[in-house]
Amino acid sequence: MILIADGEKIKALRLSRNWELADLAAAADVNEKNIYRAERSKRMQIKTLRAIASAFNLDVSEITAPVPVIAPPVPASSAGCSSLLSAIDKQGLWREVEDALIQVVNGAGLEVQRHYKHVAKQMYDSGRDPLLEKVVVPASQVGKNFPDIVDFEATKAACRVGVAMFRPLAERLGSVLSILAEEGVDSLHQEWLVSRVPEAKPFLRQRGELVSDPRSFVLVIDGLDASVNHRNMHWPYCSGAALLVGGEPRAAAILDPERDELYSAVIPGGACGSAPWARLWNKRTGDVTDLVELWKITPEHPIEDVTVNYHLTRSNSEALEDFLDKLPALVGACRSTQAWNCGLLAMAMVAARRLGGVVNNFVNIWDVAAGEVLVRACGGVVSRFDGCPVPYGSPDRTSLIAAAPAVWGRLQVILG
């Protein structure tokens, strides 16, 4: 990140080829090649920024040397937290938690991409795979939302890494570890997972088994979000994981394996800990964006100027009809709308200021938890349509609004 101490025109400019940089570069007549090179050279960073400063009549002395892109805060403890949050703060474990979640989604993402081949298409078309030959799937369960082999394999990898990373961490904290995985929420799916990852058996929980225990340490896994998109071999799809502490999502990681972009965020103990942080790491270029700082230096746009992502449920006709009744008002309020069928990555895009909001009236908590951490860490709001917090201890599906505060307020009026 490069700081420009202007105070009136430009407070900060980050070299990540985002829209803000593109606008400034256009004003300074700096071409894309120079921008790309500037991201990798301090000399070119200064040269490029001097050209931009000149376009805005800034004194070149106002340009400072590059500073680290992100410096995660050191957690600090304070009285009044839950015992588990306080313990994580005191031992300075938030960075370790973040790293563990990154390993979980990396493990799932490797499996997702391993199957992104023509052989995967053949498996999907045939509907059978040797890896599932021991699982008897009743015909009644083979529907639109039934997970395929890649869902299972990605979840298996995520659970294996999750147990290895979080079991010792939970033991150190005197906590109770639970794992809620999308492909492990019923007995049939859980049987398959346990047969491949036996070490996960003591920790796997089914839908409705989670409670808001202040000692709970819950790893929520979505090995492959938007498997239909992956099956049809087009973006977007992703892998996500979140950690619930005391029933509330506190840390998360989301991997976009197609673009090699990794999102991670932590919300420590609030008043009991340090400030939240969130970042976006482009694994191809090495560029890292501090998303919290990005929200500070970019203006919040009104709902009339943003794109809102929505989802039409395939599994509940009543919920679908209810949302369709509200869709005209939503479309009329926004600049544009779109439906990706990938809620976690859409929420990550809200955190990256690439989308204005995400709405869904019938969604599972594993499709929300990781995205909620990212949006809230940056200063956004995540709630149900009625404005209440997402209930992570409930077995029922929930509604969802995730957006910056002003846009969230308008969406809540339209959908509430």
Domain boundaries, given as residue ranges, for the chain: 2-62, 83-296, 299-415
Spatial separation of the C-alpha atoms in residues 400 and 384, rounded to whole Å: 5
Min mean pLDDT across 6-10, 364-368, 376-380, 406-410 is at 6-10
Q: What is the pLDDT of residue 63?
A: 43
Confidence band (pLDDT; 50, 70, 90) for 20? very low
Confidence tier at 409 by pLDDT (50, 70, 90): very high
What's the pLDDT score for residue 395?
A: 79
Q: What is the pLDDT of residues 61-76, one digit of tens each?
A: 444 433 333 222 233 3
Q: What is the pLDDT of residue 247?
A: 84
Pick the CATH number of 83-296 from 3.40.190.10, 3.30.1240.10, 3.40.47.10, 3.30.540.10: 3.30.540.10
Quick count: other Cβ atoms within 10 Å of Cβ 362? 20
- Burial zone of 250 (CB within 10 Å; 0-12 exposed, 13-18 middle, 19+ buried): buried
Give whichever of 57-66, 352-361, 392-401 has the largest mean pLDDT.
Answer: 352-361
Where residue 348 falls among pLDDT bands split at 50, 70, 90?
A: very high
Does the structure show a pLDDT above 60 at 202?
yes
Comparing 48-57, 130-139, 141-150, 402-411, which segment has the lowest mean pLDDT?
A: 130-139
pLDDT of residue 105: 97
Model confidence at 39: pLDDT above 60: no
**Cβ partners under 8 Å of residue 193, min gap 6:** 152, 155, 156, 159, 181, 183, 184, 200, 204
pTM of the shown model: 0.77
What is the per-residue pLDDT for 14? 34
**Which of the pair, 132 or 106, is modelled with greater confidence?**
106
User: Across residues 283-301, what is the average pLDDT?
Assistant: 94
Q: Which amino acid is at 233?
A: M
Question: 195 or 140, which is more confident?
Answer: 195
Whether 343 shows a pLDDT value over 80: the answer reads yes
Q: Give the mean pLDDT of 218-240.
A: 90
- Tell me what the mean pLDDT of segment 252-262 comes to: 96
Alpha-carbon distance of 327 to 302, in angstroms, equals 18
When pLDDT is averaged across residues 388-405 and rounded to a whole number, the result is 91
216 vs 196 pLDDT, higher one:
196
pLDDT at 314: 82
Task: Specify the pLDDT at position 267.
Answer: 95
Tokens of 242: 């979140």
State the pLDDT at residue 96. Answer: 95
Mean pLDDT of the chain: 77
- pLDDT at residue 232, rounded to an integer: 76
Kindly give, in sequence order, each residue whose CB lies less than 8 Å from that of residue 73, ignoring residues fewer than 6 positions away.
268, 274, 275, 277
Pair of tokens at residue 335:
């600049």
State CA 400 to chain mean position distance: 14
What is the C-alpha separation between 277 and 89, in angstroms, rounded?
14
Looking at residue 145, what is its pLDDT? 55
Decide: 125 and 150 in contact? Cβ < 8 Å.
no
Q: What is the reported pLDDT for 3?
A: 32
Pick the more confident residue, 59 or 295: 295
User: Over 70: is that where the pLDDT of 179 sits?
Assistant: yes
Position 344 scores a pLDDT of 97
Least confident of 48-62, 267-281, 340-354: 48-62
pLDDT at residue 334 greater than cutoff 70: yes
Q: What is the pLDDT of residue 125?
A: 59
- CATH fold of 299-415, please? D-Maltodextrin-Binding Protein; domain 2 (3.40.190)
Share of the chain above pLDDT 70, in %: 69
Shortest CA distance to 358 belongs to which of 380, 328, 377?
Answer: 380
Q: What confidence tier does 408 reach under pLDDT thresholds 50, 70, 90? A: very high
3-state secondary structure the chain: CEEECCCCCCCEECCCCCHHHHHHHHHHCCCHHHHHHHCCCHHHHHHHHHHHHHHCCCCHHHECCCCCCCCCCCCCCCCCCCHHHHHHHHCCCHHHHHHHHHHHHHHHHHHHHHCCCHHHHHHHHHCCCHHHCCCCCCHHHCCCCCCCHHHHHHHHHHHHHHHHHHHHHHHHHCCEEEEEEHHHCCHHHHHHHHHHCHHHCCCECCCCCCCCCCCEEEEEEEEEECHHHHHCCCCCCEEEEEEEECCEEEEEEEEECCCCEEEEEECCCHHHCCCCEEEEEECCCCCEEEHHHHHHHCCCCCHHHCEEEEECCCCCHHHHHHHHHHHHHHHHHCCEEECCCCHHHHHHHHHCCCCCEEEEEEECHHHCHHHHHHHHHHCCEEECCCCCCCCCCCCCCEEEEEECHHHHHHHHHHHC
Per-residue pLDDT tens digits for 294-317: 999 999 999 999 999 999 988 888
